Chains A and B, each alone.
Chain A
Amino acid sequence: MAYHIIGDQDTVLGYRFAGVTGDAVDTEEEAREAFTKAVAGRKPGVLLLTEAVADMLEEEVTAHRLAAAPPYLAVVQDIWGPRGKRRSLQELIDEAVGIRIVRDE
């Protein structure tokens, strides 16, 4: 598994064209199940999540990010457009780690 995606069926279909295996999920339970399964192996690879899935599994995703273990996460939009405002990487880190990185200029 070099790449894997968890998301809604349309987005998964899109990535399917690039040879990415994927789980199409609709509900939170399905998403959690797919995520746990994808993470469990700790195999090196890139795990793509759509924003919807990342929002549903916020706790798990943050925990996995903090562990910084493979598979490495990347959050992508679903093809039907963005879901509101996203928090930036800095804000996410500030929340989870408690370190605010500000460039002093």
Chain B
Amino acid sequence: MSRLNVAPTKSNQLILKRNLQIATGGFTLLEQKREILVMELMRLLDRAKLVQAELAVRRQKAYATLRQALAYNGYHHLRNIAGGIHYNHQIKTSTRITAGVRIPTITIQHGEFQSQFGFASTDSLVDQTMVDFLDLLETAGRLAELETSVWLLARELKKTQRRVNALEQIFIPNYKDTLRYIGEALESKELDSFFTMKMVKKKLTQADEEALDEATETPTPDRQPATSS
């Protein structure tokens, strides 16, 4: 039981009633938002898992090729070749909005595979490395996008959860308790005034009757004690 520190008046009651209405409305909305966020998170996590599996496959292939290439050609030779490689990857980001969260979508335009080194003194492993790593890169980019989205949604979910809890556990019970208290206080006040009114009315009628009695009948000594009791 906790209630707000307000005076039990009619106007406060009206204000609180409106606040409670707003709080319950907000609560319903936030609860819906939370559900949407959870659903979206689940979906993205499933997709991230798929992409991760794909990444693992491509990575194993690419890394095996690279290790082989390293073994055949040596680090320095490969580095010389790699120094001449240039791809123009274009990246564009846009945002899409889910449940009030701005989620980035990354579109990457990959450079197409092309031979960028002389055929002499390079072997097929070098070509293969390049192909494999381009594939790998594409998947890594998608994973980065998914993971970022998941982090964003998780952060928003946490915030929403906190708000839902605050409304459900603190604000709404507070308003309800205070309203009940004000209602009771107003009722007892009303009862009090009703009672006072009754008393006043009784006194007034009594006074009236006495005045009437005195006016109509001449007071007799034996009737006087009977009326005053």
Contact = CB atoms under 8 A, between A and B. Distances in A.
A82 B137 CA distance: 18
Contacts of A68: 148, 151-152, 155
A18 B133 contact: yes
A70 B93 contact: yes
Contacts of B92: 44
26 contacts: A2-B89, A10-B66, A13-B78, A13-B79, A13-B82, A16-B83, A17-B126, A17-B129, A17-B133, A19-B87, A19-B111, A46-B141, A66-B151, A68-B148, A72-B147, A72-B148, A73-B144, A73-B148, A74-B143, A76-B140, A79-B67, A80-B67, A89-B147, A93-B150, A99-B158, A101-B154
B104 interface: yes
Residue among B55, B79, B140, B151 with max Cβ neighbours from chain A (10 Å): B151
Contacts of B93: 44, 70
Given A18-B133, A72-B106, A72-B147, A66 B155 contact: yes
Contacts of A19: 85-89, 111
B67 A18 contact: no
Given A44-B93, A46-B106, A73-B144, 13 more contacts: A17-B133, A19-B85, A19-B87, A46-B144, A48-B144, A65-B148, A70-B104, A74-B147, A76-B59, A77-B59, A97-B154, A101-B41, A101-B42
B30 interface: no
A48 B155 contact: no
B72 interface: no
Chain A interface size, under 10 / 10 to 19 / 20 to 34 / 35 or more: 35 or more
A101 to B, nearest CB: 6
B182 interface: no
A98 B158 contact: yes
Nearest to A103: B42
B91 A2 contact: yes
B145 to A, nearest CB: 6
Interface in B95-145: 104, 106, 108, 111, 126, 129-130, 133-134, 136-137, 140-141, 143-145
A48 B42 contact: no
Interface of A: 2-3, 9-10, 13-20, 44-48, 65-66, 68, 70, 72-74, 76-77, 79-80, 89-90, 93, 97-99, 101, 103
Interface of B: 38, 41-42, 45, 48, 55, 59, 62-63, 66-67, 70, 75, 78-79, 82-83, 85-93, 104, 106, 108, 111, 126, 129-130, 133-134, 136-137, 140-141, 143-145, 147-148, 150-152, 154-155, 157-158, 161
Contact of A99 (B55, B79, B154): B154
A83 B91 CA distance: 30
A79 B140 contact: no
In order of increasing CB-CB distance, the 6 nearest A-B pairs are: A19-B87, A2-B89, A18-B133, A74-B144, A16-B82, A2-B91
Contacts of A89: 45, 48, 147, 150
Contact of A93 (B59, B91, B154): B154
